[in-house]
Structure 1
Amino acid sequence: MAERVLLAGCGDLGLRVAEGLKARGDEVFALRRHPVVEDDEAVRWIQADLTRPETLSGLPDGISQLIYLPAPKARERSAYRATFVDGQRHLLYALDTTRLERVLLVSSSAVYGEHHGDWVDEQTPPAPLAFNGEVLLEAEQWLSAQPFRSVVLRLAGLYGPGRLQWVERLRTGQAQVSREPQHWANRMHIDDAAAAIVHLLALSEPQALYLGVDDTPLPLDVLYDSVAALVAAPFAAQGAAPAGVGSKRLSNARLRASGFCPCWPDSRVGYSELLSSQVAGS
């Protein structure tokens, strides 16, 4: 049966999710702060601000699935909390929930701390190193306490079209990477992330938590060197490890076991295809 789905936040990832929902025959509404000129075949747009509850009146009735994936206005604690904690609460209080069957919160692997390259999965206790992980964990905990069936998808670092800024720094010799100590990186192609969201919404008995990541964690210097070779750039110089992230290898075993199969299981292949497309397009 077709679902009536609301996307709370609809940027690059949300638009890809909307396309997947449309393909399965759902009716899709998307809420965002900035106006959209007109509806299109995939999305019926709603202009509202999750941080301003007075703008959330008149939401559509009969929403059966809610996907919460907004973007904060700024990278600071107050903006994150207003968006993910307060905004989530504002929306669920304003929404007609009589038919709401499932809420999916898009969170982040930032809720995990430093694991010195060890494997991390859904059973690993969260211990965020920075405010973004702390706020997202608070949002997860609030949602889990509500009387709605909910699923949390903790995404790793997304890459895809338009997300190649660090490659340009490689080309110009400005990139740095931690080689010693080695820092593990975890990635997921944005199209795989969108497909994973649609997949989890379709499961009849999903678990409460999944990690969204590809099959192949990589030392960050290995990923950088692989991409440098693709673009004939110099290898990145030694630099500091990313701050507030922690070195770990994320496991997608639970997501895989649910029946999901990523199209890009190794980010080296994904980046190769992206860069080939970029060259062909130019």
Structure 2
Amino acid sequence: MSHLMIFGAGYSGKAIARALQHTMDGISGTTRSDDNISNLQSLAIAPFIFSGAALSDELRAELKHVTHLVQSIAPGASGDPLLRLCDGDIKSLMPKLQWAAYLSTVGVYGNHDGDWVDEDTPCRPVSVRSTERVDAEAAWAEAANKPNVPLCVLRLSGIYGPGRNGLINMEKGTARRLVKKGQVFNRIRVEDIGAATAFLVAKNAGGIFNVTDDEPAPPQDVVAFAANLMGVQPPAEQAFDTAELSPMARSFYGENKRVSNRKLRDLGFSFSFPNYRQSLRQLWRDGVWRDE
């Protein structure tokens, strides 16, 4: 019997559950809030409350049956919450565990002045949150290696999809066309995160994989394309240097790189949404851009 547990069944976690719903005999997921319980149940995800501080008796009992794990909760200053609670001994919590995935970020690569990076590129994180991710990746690699459990570290680029996209931002009036010379970002459609995870489960794969689109692009171009689809005027361009931004938003622009997905493609995976134009067109055409 195969049983998937998703620690942090949020936007990406729910997409992963959808992609594996016909493959797994059971799917469970954690949430921090009682408000999300009915939503998880509607997706056939058995819900468990997990704040990161302690594992309830009910959750511990559920983990005894887990064969496949996806960890999507971000680490903090004290490290990965799940590994902390089991002292790095994942088999003590999940004796039937056969495969695990850790959802990380392409932020671990840091800044490369617009050059291409791949899974062999050394990590040189800039922000505190990316440094914490590098540490968590290493901790998960060590924890999975001890019991010889295949581990996939999925380095995700900017996540978007139904309910979270440039069309929504245009409608809300929050879209901005910030221009910084030479700046590009990769993106990833949330359904492709789910599909890639299901693909790697089927392969029983292990290793580090960039889960990202084909086309790193200037952010202002994406905003202009969304506006064109909607038949409205895009917001005026703003120079990055003089724009008012939060420290976190500004820090994202300090990391400029082009992230390759060749390793995942060479393994045989095909992205359904390989670039932002194809993806936004589909969201707009099918009228699902508002639906999370």
Give the TM-score band, short-chain normalised: 0.7 to 0.9
Normalised TM-score (structure 2):
0.82
Q: Is structure 2 residue 245 aligned with structure 1 residue 243?
A: no
CA contact (8 A) 2:175 2:235 kept: no
Cα deviation code 1:220-252 (max 9, x no counterpart): 233232223223223541332753231111100
1:114 corresponds in structure 2 to 111
Does the residue aligned with 1:59 lie in a helix, a strand or coil? helix
Quote how far apart the aligned CAs of 1:277 are.
3.7
Match of 1:65 among 61, 64, 68: 68
Q: In the alignment, residue 250 of structure 2 is paired with which amino acid?
A: A
Quote how far apart the aligned CAs of 1:156 are.
0.3
Q: CA separation of 1:150/1:120 partners in 2, compared to 1, >3 Å: closer, same or farther?
A: same
* Percentage of matched positions with identical amino acids: 24
1:157 corresponds in structure 2 to 158
Quote how far apart the aligned CAs of 1:279 are.
8.6
CA contact (8 A) 1:5 1:65 kept: yes
Q: Which moved more, 1:5-14 or 1:220-229?
A: 220-229
Two-structure CA RMSD over aligned residues (Å):
2.8
Q: Give distance in 1, aligned partners of 2:96 and 2:185.
A: 40
Matching of residues 55-94 of structure 1 within 5 Å? 57-70=60-73, 80-81=76-77, 85-90=80-85, 93=89
Does the residue aligned with 2:95 lie in a helix, a strand or coil? coil
2:197 corresponds in structure 1 to 197
Does the residue aligned with 1:103 lie in a helix, a strand or coil? strand
| Unmatched 5+ stretches in structure 2 | 242-248
Q: Give distance in 1, aligned partners of 2:84 and 2:290.
A: 43
| Unmatched 5+ stretches in structure 1 | 73-78
Does the residue aligned with 1:134 lie in a helix, a strand or coil? helix
Quote how far apart the aligned CAs of 1:93 are.
4.6
Does the residue aligned with 1:105 lie in a helix, a strand or coil? strand
Q: CA separation of 1:101/1:280 partners in 2, compared to 1, >3 Å: closer, same or farther?
A: closer
Q: Give distance in 1, aligned partners of 2:170 and 2:15.
A: 27
Q: Give distance in 2, aligned partners of 1:104 and 1:60.
A: 15
Q: Is structure 2 residue 130 aligned with structure 1 residue 133?
A: yes
Q: CA separation of 1:229/1:41 partners in 2, compared to 1, >3 Å: closer, same or farther?
A: closer
Cα deviation code 1:166-220 (max 9, x no counterpart): 7535884861312x4121110111111111111112213x241000101122122
Q: CA separation of 1:167/1:44 partners in 2, compared to 1, >3 Å: closer, same or farther?
A: closer
Q: Give distance in 1, aligned partners of 2:228 and 2:99.
A: 44
Q: Give distance in 2, aligned partners of 1:100 and 1:271.
A: 38
1:223 corresponds in structure 2 to 222
CA contact (8 A) 2:64 2:93 kept: yes
Quote how far apart the aligned CAs of 1:41 are.
6.6
Quote how far apart the aligned CAs of 1:108 are.
0.5
CA contact (8 A) 2:6 2:29 kept: yes
Cα deviation code 1:112-164 (max 9, x no counterpart): 11111110110111111111111111110111112233110000001111113
Q: Is structure 2 residue 203 aligned with structure 1 residue 208?
A: no
Q: Which moved more, 1:111-120 or 1:49-58?
A: 49-58
CA contact (8 A) 2:119 2:210 kept: yes
Q: How many residues align?
A: 271
CA contact (8 A) 1:170 1:228 kept: no
CA contact (8 A) 1:175 1:237 kept: yes
2:185 corresponds in structure 1 to 185
